[in-house]
Amino acid sequence: MDDSSALSIRPVRTRRDYRDFLNLPRGIYRDDPAWVPPIRLTEPGEYRPSGNPVLARSEHGLFLARRGERPVGRIVAYVDPRFNEYYRSRIGFFGAFECREDGEAACALYAAAEAWMAERGMDSSRGPIHPSAECWGFVADGFDRPPVFLSPHNPPYYGALAEAAGYVGVKDLLAYEADARSGYRIPERFSRFAALHASRFPGLATRRIDPGALDRDARHILRILNEGVAENWGYVPVEEDEMTSVLRRLRPFLDPDAVWFVEAEGVPVACCLGFPDVNVAIRRMRGRLLPSGFLRLLSVRRRVRDYRLWGLAVLPAWQGRGLDVLLYMRLFEALAPKGVRLEANYILEDNLRIRNALEKLGMRPVKTYRVYEKALGR
């Protein structure tokens, strides 16, 4: 191997390094029609503490692999103190992994991230979990489907690269689909369920989010999520700054038909959060918001038929009473006139309660994401 193809792994320190770190995926996915490029206007801030609430609280390192002068791979390693305090663990995370089909480069990137974590006292490495984009796992099934907003996409060989570096799958997350234009309808028996439910719980009511009181309703969502899914694998209570970051991304595209609450005597006890899949527009614009891209994004809400169900939670005292099914029915009934294709993710593989509910509602699994883990020091 000549000098021009020699492999090096170095921390990202210079402006050139950072530019190459950001631009690397564009070369990897150049011929992939399903890939959605990041928004060029906002991407540079995603890997800096000033623009990323997770990295603002977490020690982190960015690494870039080069062959000669050519960038061939990248990875972010970070230690989230809030996660480790919550679980009393010593787990480091990796994310933003991208690499050409180069096993040597991939193994070296993982080794650099693991060494960085071990120096900080971590005993295992878990990922990919992107520190800013809410992307969990490598796609393990469903590669031909474009990713919905805030979900990952990758070439089929990424899982094999991780396994070659000693990682094993620790949890699968599933995506379910309901497509109104392909004939999907909520099964008739659930109309009877809704009527029976109303007679059994007369104090319950459903409502859409109120765009005029968004901050108030955001606090309701934060409270219900933190209490309702506290037992889910890998979940850490969401802080207000993180919820603000998510809502900042979603606010311009908010569709009140896609965000619902169940209230008991006027107090929210369950919620679901959906939004239009703006990736449809971002993919067409190739990530460029200027000069007119932002206006095109704003028009998505009126025209898009692809939606994502991002979160659904019920307070513990109200679980087991069918509120999750009721929320889903309200959501889909409100969106159905638009002929939507609704994707619900991430559904934990062992969350049988939610999986059974979605499958009884006639939704079908269409994609699998896999999170990997490796013990350090072995």
The alpha carbon of 278 is separated from its chain's Cα centroid by a whole number of angstroms, namely 14
**What is the predicted pLDDT for the residue at 251?**
74
310-357: pLDDT as tens digits: 889 999 999 988 899 999 999 999 999 889 999 998 899 999 888 988
Fold of 7-174: Aminopeptidase (3.40.630)
Confidence class of residue 2 from pLDDT cuts 50, 70 and 90? very low
Q: Which CATH class is domain 185-362?
A: alpha beta
**Under 8 Å CB-to-CB from 11, ≥6 apart: which residues?**
17, 61, 62, 63, 64
Decide if pLDDT at 40 tops 70.
Answer: no
Q: How is residue 142 written in tokens?
A: 């469903």
Q: Are 114 and 376 in contact (CB under 8 A)?
A: yes
For all residues of the chain together, what is the average pLDDT?
88
Would you place residue 198 in the very low, low, confident or very high pLDDT band (cuts 50, 70, 90)? Answer: confident
pLDDT confidence band for 191 (50 / 70 / 90)? confident
How much is the average pLDDT of 130-159? 90
**Judging by DSSP bridges, how do beta strands 59-67 and 70-79 pair with one another?**
antiparallel
Residues of the chain with CATH 3.40.630.30: 7-174, 185-362
Between 290 and 359, residue with greater pLDDT: 359
Taking alpha carbons only, the member of 107, 108, 96 closest to residue 28 is: 96
Average pLDDT over residues 50-57: 82
Amino acid (one-letter) located at 209: I
Q: What is the pLDDT of residue 60?
A: 95
What is the rounded average pLDDT of the residues 234-257? 76
Query: What secondary structure letter does DSSP report for 226?
Result: H
pLDDT of 135: 87
Phi, psi torsion values for 283, nearest 5 degrees: -65, -40
Please say if the pLDDT value at position 291 is more than 80: no
Comparing C-alpha atoms, which of 252, 274, 280, 293 is closest to residue 148? 280
Q: How confident is the model at residue 288 (pLDDT cuts 50, 70, 90)?
A: low
Q: Is 269 helix (H, G, I), strand (E, B) or coil?
A: strand
Alpha-carbon torsion (293, 298, 304, 307), positive or negative: positive
Closest CA to 363 of 337, 338, 345, 339: 345
CA-to-CA dists, residue 256 to 107, 182, 271, 344, 361, angstroms: 45, 24, 12, 17, 22
CA 243 to chain centre: 13
Q: How many CA atoms lie within 13 A of 242 on its CB side?
A: 18
- End-to-end CA distance of the chain: give it in Å, rounded: 29
Instruction: Give 10's DSSP letter.
Output: E
**pLDDT reading at 298 higher than 70:** no
State residue 317's pLDDT score: 94
Closest Cα to residue 258, out of 205, 190, 177, 312? 312
Helix locations, 229-378, DSSP H: 240-250, 279-285, 293-303, 323-335, 352-360
Q: Does residue 193 surpass a pLDDT of 90?
A: no
CA-based radius of gyration for the chain = 21
pTM as predicted: 0.90
268: pLDDT confidence band, cut at 50, 70 and 90? very high
Residue 55, pLDDT above cutoff 90:
no
Task: Identify which of 251, 260, 267, 269 has the alpha carbon closest to the alpha carbon of residue 215.
Answer: 251
| pLDDT on residue 259 | 95
Taking residues 188-195, report their average pLDDT.
85
Element of type H or E holding 325: helix 323-335
Cα-based angle 281, 284, 285 (whole degrees, multiple of 5): 85
Closest by CA position to 132, among listed 211, 35, 60: 60
Does residue 275 contact residue 253 with C-beta atoms inside 8 Å? yes
As beta bridge partners, residue 63 has 11, 75
β partners of residue 305: none
By C-alpha distance, which of 253, 247, 258 is closest to 301?
253
Q: What share of the chain is helix, strand, coil (3-state, %, to 5)?
A: 40, 30, 30
Q: How confident is the model at residue 132 (pLDDT cuts 50, 70, 90)?
A: confident
Provide mean pLDDT across the span 27-52. 81
